[in-house]
Amino acid sequence: MARSIGMAKDTTVFRAVITKQYKDGPVTDYEGPYGSIGAARARVSFWTNYLAERDEDTGERTGKSRASGYVEQGTVTWTPA
């Protein structure tokens, strides 16, 4: 997915680090970079909600999820390629 990362030199960027639990074991994905911490947090929330566990009988969420995550920040230094 293309993102606009046309930001100023040495600006702070954020990425979502998401760990998903599957039958074969955990998988860690990195999404970003994002220009705001809120955008990265939204991706963590998306995956936590998307992989929420549900009660088999009622279909209601159990409060548990097969995904968890956090946000990292860093800086990008642009140089000619």
Name 35's Cβ contacts closer than 8 Å, sequence gap at least 6: 5, 7, 11, 13, 14
Phi and psi torsions of 50, nearest 5°: -65, -40
Within a domain: 7? no
Within a domain: 23? yes
Within a domain: 55? yes
* pLDDT at 3 (0 to 100): 57
| Total of domains in the chain | 1
Domain span at residue 36 reads 12-75
Confidence band of 2 (pLDDT split at 50, 70, 90): very low
* pLDDT, tens only, 13-68: 999 999 999 999 999 999 998 989 999 999 999 999 999 988 888 888 888 899 99
Within a domain: 6? no
**Residue (of 12, 15, 18) closest to 49 by Cα position:** 18
